[in-house]
């Protein structure tokens, strides 16, 4: 697996679970895992040993045996070599192995990074690009913001990617749909929460501007949360937002509290993968809005975070992101278009909580179970002819 900035986010448990669910699912299929990271031009080599040690502790606590290797820019090779003694002393000798040796042993590269160099991608026997930003990735490619090198096969977690009627280009690529995954054994069904437990989410509040189909938008979660400001006054249930803290955000939290929301810094609940899991487990369910891009592109997106709620037997009330062949409207996962719809969804769950909790877990088992989804993905990838050791 070539991951996307996992090292930069060792203190963000929610981000880590994006990849942990995949990794744990692969291990459940008896796959040997090699975690490949590319150290960019601004890599912090002094912080690297500590970051890796924290990751390794989490991996061991999850029973996850992972070898870690790094692609290093030529100008950084001496700096990387200088810290290898420290890495060995910390029990991290696995990452000292040259990535080229690891590539020779790997049957297929699952690339979440998008921008790995061509010589790295072609060093593996087979390569699969994994699109976890459906619609956005295709727009980035179309607008010339990203230019991934050629891969042997392309997968997307977006149902509409590359399909007739999609509201964004396919960029001349054949995209294979593969749902996002959740490792069910790591997210077991929990006892029902207290009746006054809040519906929660862990979210970015701000975002960045995106150029989508020639239109520039502010892609902020805040946009649609603001449309729901009076929701707490309409319902008996509590709602709490755990927000990634940025400049100016304390006043945003005060504003939310003045309208009846609970609000706290995401760092309080997601410092580790285990704290993040505990927070979801202590919740009554999820309530979350989506980014404007999801509605503009109608990509039928569902968050990896939402899957963790569902697997835990926690109903999810989330914003509607487009027609779907697999996502229900009002059963375990309830999707709303506006604040009136959000009110109806929350009241529907509260009126029959046990039914929706069971339906949430059943949905995760049917469509998003990591072992089931990844077995099919690997079968398709492994059916491709392998390159020889010279990359041909």
State how far the Cα of 223 lies from the Cα of 210, in Å rounded to an integer.
14
Q: Which burial class, exposed, middle or buried, applies to 304 when counting CB atoms under 10 A from its CB (0-12, 13-18, 19+)?
A: buried
What is the pairing mode between strands 333-336 and 208-212?
unpaired
Q: Say which CATH architecture domain 185-368 belongs to.
A: 3-Layer(aba) Sandwich (3.40)
Predicted structure pTM score: 0.94
pLDDT for res 8 = 59
State how far the Cα of 339 lies from the Cα of 330, in Å rounded to an integer.
15
pLDDT for res 213 = 86
Boundaries of every domain in the chain: 7-183+371-382, 185-368
State how far the Cα of 327 lies from the Cα of 320, in Å rounded to an integer.
10
From first to last of the 392 residues of the chain, give the pLDDT tens digit.
767 666 656 556 788 899 999 999 999 999 999 999 988 888 888 888 888 888 888 899 999 988 899 998 889 888 888 888 888 888 888 888 889 998 998 999 999 989 999 999 999 999 999 999 999 999 999 999 999 999 999 999 999 999 999 999 999 999 999 999 999 999 999 999 999 999 999 999 998 999 998 889 999 999 999 999 999 999 999 999 999 866 656 789 999 999 999 999 999 999 899 999 999 999 999 999 999 999 999 999 999 999 999 999 999 999 999 999 999 999 999 999 999 999 999 999 999 999 999 999 999 999 999 999 999 999 999 999 998 655 55
pLDDT for res 6 = 67
Q: What is the DSSP letter of 311?
A: H
pLDDT for res 308 = 98
State how far the Cα of 344 lies from the Cα of 89, in Å rounded to an integer.
57
Cβ count within 10 A of residue 295 = 18
Which parts of 244-338 fold into alpha helices (H)? 249-258, 273-281, 292-297, 304-311
pLDDT for res 392 = 57
- Give the phi and the psi of residue 45 in degrees, each rounded to 5: -70, -30
Check if the beta carbon of residue 139 is closer than 8 Å to that of residue 117. Answer: no
């Amino acid at each position: 697996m070539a991951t996307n900035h996992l090292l930069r986010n060792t203190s963000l448990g929610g981000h880590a679970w994006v990849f942990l669910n995949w990794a744990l699912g692969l291990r459940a299929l008896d796959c040997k895992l090699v975690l490949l990271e590319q150290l960019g031009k601004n890599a912090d080599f002094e912080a690297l040993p500590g970051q890796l040690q924290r990751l390794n502790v989490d991996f061991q606590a999850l029973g996850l045996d992972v070898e870690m290797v790094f692609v290093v820019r030529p100008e950084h090779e001496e700096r990387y070599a200088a810290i290898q003694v420290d890495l060995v002393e910390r029990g991290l000798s696995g990452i000292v192995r040259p990535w080229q040796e690891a590539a020779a042993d790997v049957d297929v590269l699952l690339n979440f990074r998008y921008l790995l160099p061509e010589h790295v991608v072609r060093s593996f026997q087979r390569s699969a690009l994994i699109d976890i930003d459906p619609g956005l990735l295709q727009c980035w490619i179309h607008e010339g913001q990203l230019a991934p090198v050629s891969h042997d096969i392309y997968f997307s977690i977006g149902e509409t990617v590359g399909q007739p009627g999609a509201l964004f280009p396919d960029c001349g690529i054949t995209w294979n749909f593969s749902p996002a995954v959740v490792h069910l054994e790591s997210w077991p069904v929990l006892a029902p929460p207290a009746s006054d437990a809040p519906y929660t989410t862990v979210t970015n509040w701000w975002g960045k501007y995106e150029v989508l189909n020639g239109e520039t938008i502010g892609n902020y979660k805040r946009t649609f949360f603001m449309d729901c400001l009076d929701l707490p006054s309409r319902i008996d249930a509590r709602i709490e937002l755990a927000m990634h803290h940025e400049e100016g955000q304390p006043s945003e939290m005060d504003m939310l509290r003045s309208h009846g929301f609970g609000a706290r810094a995401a760092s309080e609940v997601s410092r580790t993968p285990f704290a993040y899991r505990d927070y979801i487990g202590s919740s009554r369910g999820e309530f979350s809005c989506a980014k404007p891009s999801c509605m503009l592109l109608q990509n039928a997106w569902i968050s990896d975070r939402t899957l963790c709620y569902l697997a835990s037997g926690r109903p999810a009330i989330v914003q509607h992101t487009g027609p779907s062949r697999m996502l229900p409207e009002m059963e375990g996962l309830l999707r709303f278009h506006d604040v009136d719809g959000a009110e109806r969804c929350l009241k529907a769950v509260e009126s029959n909580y046990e039914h929706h909790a069971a339906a949430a877990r059943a949905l995760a088992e049917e469509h998003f179970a990591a072992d089931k989804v990844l077995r099919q993905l690997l079968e398709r990838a492994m059916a491709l002819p392998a390159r020889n050791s010279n990359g041909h």
